[in-house]
């Protein structure tokens, strides 16, 4: 259903065009993937391998939970809707270069059933290869973005030169915008999009 390109966070500006193909959702103010969780009461599991990633995972979840949204993501040790993980995908993986990616439990592009709910647990990844030296807040920014995909949000692509006030955490180049604007929590546009889903 979705191309790989629709859910990765690109590493460099020159790759950004790969995620910007037109799709029906792209015309929306807050683009959606078209899939979501069945309930606004969700569970997440920490599958990180270091205390640094674990802290960023917890902070990313709390960043979403502290927004004015109708859902909540509670920690669990089994049966999670979202599994937050880090792993080394190398500089490129399946021909793609990314700092974060959201996959299903088979490491394939996530799909949803006829009722629009995800078929499997959503696994939100940091790519260690690129993020192992990131500051804690930059790791958080990446994971807030990936969790946004799990919630059902698609990419936004702000034109280069955009005012930081107009950029969202779901921007396809969040790593670059983090460097410029320094935000690592959901932005008003992200929250509005999530409120349209749940």
Tokens of 13: 């500006």
Residue 10 Cβ vs Zn ion, minimum distance, rounded to whole Å: 8
Sheet holding 98-103, edge to edge: 8-10, 98-103, 122-127, 82-87, 41-47, 72-75
- Interface with Zn ion by CB under 5 A: which range of 2-10, 23-31, 44-52, 126-134? 2-10
From residue 120 to residue 159, what is the string marking binding to Zn ion with x (rule CB under 5 A)? ----------------------------------------
Among residues 9 and 127, whose Cβ is nearest to Zn ion?
A: 9
Site for Zn ion in 3-22 (CB under 5 A): 9
The three-class DSSP label of residue 125 is strand
Q: Return the closest-CA partner of residue 191 out of 71, 34, 33.
A: 71
Our CB check for Zn ion shows the closer of 74 and 196 to be: 196
H helical segments located in 22-134: 51-65, 128-131
Please state the closest distance from residue 158 (CB atom) to Zn ion, in A: 13
For Zn ion, give the closer residue by CB, 80 or 156: 156
Q: Which is nearer to Zn ion, 9 or 131 (CB)?
A: 9
Measured CA to CA, the distance from residue 176 to residue 171 in angstroms comes to: 9
Q: In the chain, how many H helices and how many E strands?
A: 5, 6
Does 168 participate in binding Zn ion (rule CB under 5 A)? no
Using CB atoms, what's the residue nearest to Zn ion?
A: 9
Q: Which residues bind Zn ion (CB under 5 A)?
A: 9
């Amino acid at each position: 259903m979705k191309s790989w390109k629709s859910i990765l966070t690109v590493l460099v500006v020159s790759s950004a065009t790969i995620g910007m193909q037109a799709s029906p959702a792209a015309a929306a103010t807050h683009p959606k993937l078209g899939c979501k969780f069945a309930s606004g009461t969700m569970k997440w599991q920490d599958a990180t391998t270091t205390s640094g990633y674990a802290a960023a995972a917890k902070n990313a979840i709390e960043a979403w939970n502290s927004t004015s949204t109708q859902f909540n993501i509670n920690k669990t040790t089994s049966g999670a809707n979202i599994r937050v993980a880090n792993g080394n995908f190398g500089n490129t993986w399946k021909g793609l270069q990314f700092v974060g990616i959201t996959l299903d439990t088979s490491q394939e592009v996530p799909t949803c059933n006829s009722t629009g709910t995800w078929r499997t647990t959503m696994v939100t990844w940091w790519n260690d290869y690129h993020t192992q030296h990131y500051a804690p807040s930059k790791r958080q920014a990446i994971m807030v973005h990936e969790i946004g995909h799990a919630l059902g949000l698609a990419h936004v692509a702000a034109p280069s030169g955009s005012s930081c006030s107009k950029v969202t955490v779901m921007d396809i180049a969040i790593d670059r915008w983090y460097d410029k604007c320094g935000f690592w929590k959901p932005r008003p546009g992200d929250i509005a999009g999530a409120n349209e889903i749940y």
